[in-house]
Amino acid sequence: MKNASADSSSAIQVGEFYELKTGSDVSDSAHYNEDIAPTQVKERTWNVWNVAALWVGMAICVPTYTLGGVLTAYFGLSVMEALMAILVANIIVLIPLTLNAFPGTKFGIPFPVLLRSSFGMVGSNIPCLIRAMVACGWFGIQTMFGGLAIHILLSHLLPGWESLGGTGEVIGFFTFLVLNLYIVIKGAESIKILETLAAPLLLAVGIGLMMWASPKISYEALLAIPANRPEGASFWGYFFAGVTAMVGFWATLSLNIPDFSRYVRSQKDQIAGQIIGLPLTMFFFAALGVVLTAASTTLVGETISDPVTLIGKIDSPVWVVIAMVIIIIATLSTNTAANIVSPTNDFQNVAPKKINQTRGVLLTGLIGVLLMAWELLKKLGLIESDVSVEAMYSGWLLGYSSLLGPIAGIMIVDYFVIKRQQLSLPDLYKTHGIYSGFNINGFIAFAIPVALTLYALITGQLSWFYQYGWFTGSILGGLTYWFCAKGLSAEAVNLATQND
């Protein structure tokens, strides 16, 4: 991997950037502020275990717990098929994750700044806002789970709190929201500390829960449950649809991973950390969800797929309190890293001189609340709605991967093939640099797969294109971008090299 030379090159480029910034048009540029500027070498303190802990902290959450159930209920897979789909998908998603992390580690730049190379200085805002809105939606969903955990915790600690019902859950929602926003406002170092402390605790609790639930179920009977699909239907079609949906689960992070890799010491650390932290954690916690859901009938007399509700029904106040604290920590570690950092940077990219990190965090929180307003009003008894939070996020898994796949393909081809890992740091922040306001190649490459996806949804034809949306979108987006940009690639590389 030539990590040493890559890191040396990175240090030189960032050092030159800060020498040039003073007295140049970079500081005064409408595209620059201190929070999205390249990280200096002294700020890059994350090692391989910090990266692994980041992924453990993000992967252990309520939605991961329910993935096995989603695949068996909605995608026609058996339990073992569902778990294998989750493992395969998370091995696959490591490819865009590690590749898109490269420029973040080399140049110290966040996701929206990297997008300026492939979509343009102003055009980058369109894919940024697509990513940001998805993150705000997930932020609201995770905050709802965290708020429920706080409500159950307080119900066991404070007499009379349980009688508040939905009002108590809403109070828990806003309490959990404030905790999330505070940690991210404190900066990347606070996130690193949270994830590093949470990871071993969460793994230990997960292993303990698996050992506790195992005697209460029959693994043989669980694995013998037939797949929920038409008799004689092809296994592969259902399996790959499930894999596509599971890739979509982390399709968001495969785009904005530079937001974290910009703090990592070397390419070796970011690659090894992601390989260690992601696939097996996702597989294990999804398996834990399947096992505990199966054991729930023995434990509480009914089948419950939501761990917060399940633990809340256990007749042991001490264990409920301990479990709720763990769930709050797990959801906090996921939400801060996966769902606040990216939109915070994305909103800054729109107007860096007006939106700094603190304002970006607050804007993320506001939008997250608005997107969950229907659920909050329902809990307060002000409206009625049959739409569940679970249905909301399970419906997203396939849909949004169709939008994010092309962006991932475009980013990888632009950086590794067209620009050949050469970017001009000062020009990524200049108003009149070598990067155009709108890179038409990026928008053509994005529009074609999106148009085909919409055509498939509207007409019912080309259904395979939508069904395997992340794969078809990323491959077609990357190839289209290469075809559109290859005539300009030599000129772009020469300009970038001259400005290094």
Structure confidence by residue, pLDDT tens digits, 361-419:
999 999 999 988 888 888 888 777 666 655 555 555 446 656 788 999 999 999 999 99
Q: Scanning the structure block, which residue is given the tokens 């475009």?
A: 410
Angle ∠(339,341,345) on CA atoms, nearest 5: 125
Q: Which residue stretches of 186-266 are H helix?
A: 188-213, 219-224, 235-249, 251-256, 258-261
Of the candidates 468, 2, 483, the one whose C-alpha atom is nearest the C-alpha of residue 242 is 468
Cβ burial 456-472 (10 Å sphere, 16+ → b, else e): beeeeeeeebbbbbbbb
Which amino acid is present at 399?
A: G
CB 56 within 8 A of CB 120: no
| CB neighbour class for 72 (10 Å; exposed up to 12, middle 13-18, buried from 19) | buried
Structure confidence by residue, pLDDT tens digits, 203-253:
888 888 888 788 888 888 888 888 888 887 888 888 998 898 888 888 889
Q: What is the pTM of this model?
A: 0.86
Q: What is residue 336's DSSP assignment?
A: I
> What whole-number distance in Å separates Cα of residue 326 and Cα of residue 319?
11
Q: Quick count: other Cβ atoms within 10 Å of Cβ 332?
A: 22
Structure confidence by residue, pLDDT tens digits, 156-192:
899 899 899 889 999 999 999 999 999 999 988 898 8
> What whole-number distance in Å separates Cα of residue 269 and Cα of residue 310?
38
- As a whole number, the mean pLDDT across the chain is 86
CB 432 within 8 A of CB 31: no
